[in-house]
Amino acid sequence: MARRSEARAKREAGGGYTCPFCCKTVDLRNTHYQCTNPACAKMFLRGLRESGAKSVYMSRNLDEEVDVENTIFLGKDPEGPSPVTTRNHIMRDSSGICDMCKRPAYRRLCPGCHNPIPQGAEEEGSTVFVILGPKGVGKSHYIAVLINELTKSFSPEFGATMSPATDRTTLRYRESYYKRLYEEGRKLDPTASYEQSRDSREPMIYYLRFFGGDSPRVYTLAFFDTAGEDLDSAGRMMNLSLNSFTSMASGIVFLVDPLQIPYINSRIRMDNKPPQGKDVTDILSNISNAIRANRSMSPREPIDIPLAVVLTKSDVLMKAPENEEEANVLFGPGSSIHIDRERGRYDKTNFEQISVEIEEYMRRVASGAFVQMVKEFERHSYFAVSALGSNPTGPVLSRAISPMRVEDPFIWLLNCDAEGSGR
Ligand SMILES: Nc1nc2c(ncn2[C@@H]2O[C@H](COP(=O)(O)OP(=O)(O)O)[C@@H](O)[C@H]2O)c(=O)[nH]1
Ligand SMILES: [Mg+2]
Ligand SMILES: [Zn+2]
Ligand SMILES: [Zn+2]
């Protein structure tokens, strides 16, 4: 996998590390720390009690201190009924020495939001990939299946490990996605909008670590599962921190639901067909406008963030055609998406073949304007995936989940720095 030289150069030039949780730039010489010695929080709390002073750091649970910064970051009141608490004493200075046990502390925290900063942040920075797409595109299902595939299949294949950055990520993935989909075999519910749900403000963060080669490399994957209407207008997107995430991203995965494209929607015959959606060109245009505004770029200036354009629900495009009209919008048996990629390495030829085919497909079924808009991203590539592998007609999944090519966009993104141009 490629070394992220660009991000590194930026950091060496004083660009700092961008916290994938709160999106702020962190000077790595000025972080907070957490001591892993379990005695220290207790000692700290005993000191507070003995001094008799009232303190915001004192929680109801006498073994745990209140993490004020993290509580505020999650939009809660540190003095309210449910602040975030921790058994690991927090040091709000950059000495790196625990003021209780006087030993060095190795767990670094972002001073803004108190989420962890991984080892290797100096070398690798944060390589954040974001997944965007309008409502109903299949984003939640894609994220749910992708996390499972990256953990269980991609990681052993490429000599990597994938681990959740925080307990909250572990819990959220299990409770909101994995259980329902893999254990109960039911479809996920539509995602609450960003404004309604505080929960969706914090992305699920994973570290993908590669051990091979000269030095280990770590990538940060931020899965920001929004409701999708957050992308409807540039104006609205500007108000959200999603906008900052997107602008600082090292890669964007832009999901497109083929079934919501009017040309396909009116020709394909299937159960459970979603209504036609907003024009994909407009949605992508909102995204690129937001990036340009955020980075003070001029309207036509090319965007240097790699863009993966990903058709979701591709299982429905692989059915046998019932008539000629339908055959027009399906992938035939000769399509390159049937050709397996070579395992354990970046199969550039395979991806290029698919990308060329889907670009032509999009030109035909969406518009030339869409393909043109994609080209405003210097590095781009097209993909087709399926999270479920079959079309669910009711709330219960009647077939086992058998994903198709969900990891392809990430294999490309992880390698496209080394390629210069993705195409
Ligand atoms: N055929 C097919 N349908 C899918 C797939 N993934 C999702 N869907 C359908 O699309 C609907 C919306 O998916 P969801 O992930 O909730 O979309 P979101 O609004 O973008 O999060 C689901 O309820 C499914 O019916 C897939 O891989 N194949
Ligand atoms: Mg959703
Ligand atoms: Zn932060
Ligand atoms: Zn200590």
Distance 81 CA to ligand 4 centre (A): 27
The atom of ligand 1 lying closest to the CA of 141 is 15
Q: Which domains are delineated in the chain? A: 32-109 (no CATH), 122-419 (3.40.50.300)
Sequence-distant (≥ 6) Cβ neighbours of residue 275 within 8 angstroms: 260, 265
Mean model confidence pLDDT for the chain:
88
Closest by CA to 337, choosing from 268, 372, 384, 300, is: 384
Check pocket membership of 139 for ligand 1, CB cut-off 6 A: yes
| 211 backbone dihedrals φ, ψ, rounded to 5° | -100, -20
Residue 423: the pLDDT is 34
Residue pLDDT, tens place only, 318-360: 999 999 999 999 999 999 999 999 999 999 999 999 999 999 9
pLDDT above 90 for 237: no
Tokens of 15: 């660009």
Taking 70 as the threshold, does the pLDDT of residue 198 lie above it? no
Question: Which-ligand-closest: CA of 189?
Answer: 1
pLDDT at 229: 66
pLDDT of residue 420: 44
> Which ligand number lies closest to the CA of residue 16?
3
Contacts of 308 (CB under 8 A, 6+ apart): 251, 252, 253, 254, 380, 381, 382, 383, 409, 412, 413
Asked whether 137 lines ligand 1 (CB < 6 A), one says yes
User: 3-state DSSP call for residue 311?
Assistant: strand
Q: Is the CB of 316 within 6 Å of ligand 1?
A: yes
Instruction: Say yes or no: CB of residue 391 within 6 Å of ligand 1.
Output: yes
Residue 373 to residue 300: CA distance in whole angstroms: 10
Mean pLDDT over 27-39 rounds to: 93
Please give the DSSP secondary-structure letter assigned to residue 291.
Answer: H
Q: If you measure from the C-alpha of residue 232 to the centroid of ligand 4, how many angstroms do you get, rounded to a whole number?
A: 48
37-41, 237-241, 251-255, 302-306: the lowest-pLDDT one: 237-241
Structure-model confidence comparison of residues 317 and 62, the more confident one: 317
Rounded to whole angstroms, how far apart are CA atoms 282 and 234?
Answer: 10
The pLDDT score that the predictor gives to residue 61 is: 76
Given pLDDT bands bounded at 50, 70 and 90, which one contains residue 12? very low
**What percent of the chain is modeled with pLDDT above 90?**
62
The rounded Cα 123 to chain-centroid distance in angstroms is 21
Q: Whose CA is nearest to atom 10 of ligand 1?
A: 138
Q: Which residue has the higher pLDDT, 316 or 121?
A: 316
Answer whether 258 contacts ligand 1 (Cβ < 6 A). Answer: no
Percentage of residues of the chain with pLDDT beyond 70: 87
Ligand closest to the CA atom of residue 134: 1
Q: Is 403 in the pocket of ligand 1 (CB under 6 A)?
A: no
Which ligand 1 atom is the nearest neighbour of the CA of 187?
23
Residues near ion ligand 4 (Cβ under 5 Å): 35, 37, 40, 98, 100-101
Whose alpha carbon is nearest atom 5 of ligand 1? Answer: 313
How far apart, in Å, are the Cα atoms of 271 and each of 190, 191, 275, 276? 19, 22, 12, 14
Atom of ligand 1 nearest to the CA of 225: 21
Determine the average pLDDT of the residues in 347-376.
Answer: 98
Q: Would the CB of 405 count as within 6 Å of ligand 1? A: no
Residue in 131, 140, 141, 232 to alter for ligand 1 test, most ligand atoms within 8 A of Cβ = 141
Look up the pTM and report it.
0.88
Closest ligand to C-alpha of residue 222 is: 3
| Reported confidence tier of residue 6, pLDDT bands at 50, 70, 90 | low
For ligand 3, the distance from its centroid to the CA atom of residue 180, given in whole angstroms, is: 30
CA of 202 from ligand 2 middle (Å) equals: 15
Min mean pLDDT across 70-74, 123-127, 187-191 is at 123-127
Residue 236 has pLDDT above 80, yes or no: no
Choice between 229 and 47, residue whose per-residue pLDDT is larger: 47
> In angstroms, what is the span from residue 161 Cα to ligand 1's centroid?
27
Q: Which H or E run includes 284? A: helix 280-294
Model confidence at 195: pLDDT above 60: no
Token pair recorded at residue 274: 């979603």
Residue of higher predicted confidence among 229 and 321 = 321
CA-to-CA separations, 125 to 6, 17, 190, 211, 286, in angstroms, rounded: 10, 5, 33, 17, 28
Question: Which atom of ligand 1 is nearest to 135's Cα?
Answer: 19
The answer to whether residue 422 scores a pLDDT higher than 50 is no
Ligand nearest to the CA of 34: 4
Most confident of 80-94, 203-217, 231-245: 80-94
pLDDT band per the 50, 70, 90 thresholds, residue 221: confident
Residue 418 has pLDDT above 60, yes or no: no
Q: What is the pLDDT of residues 70-93, one digit of tens each?
A: 999 888 899 999 899 999 999 999
3-state secondary structure of 245: helix
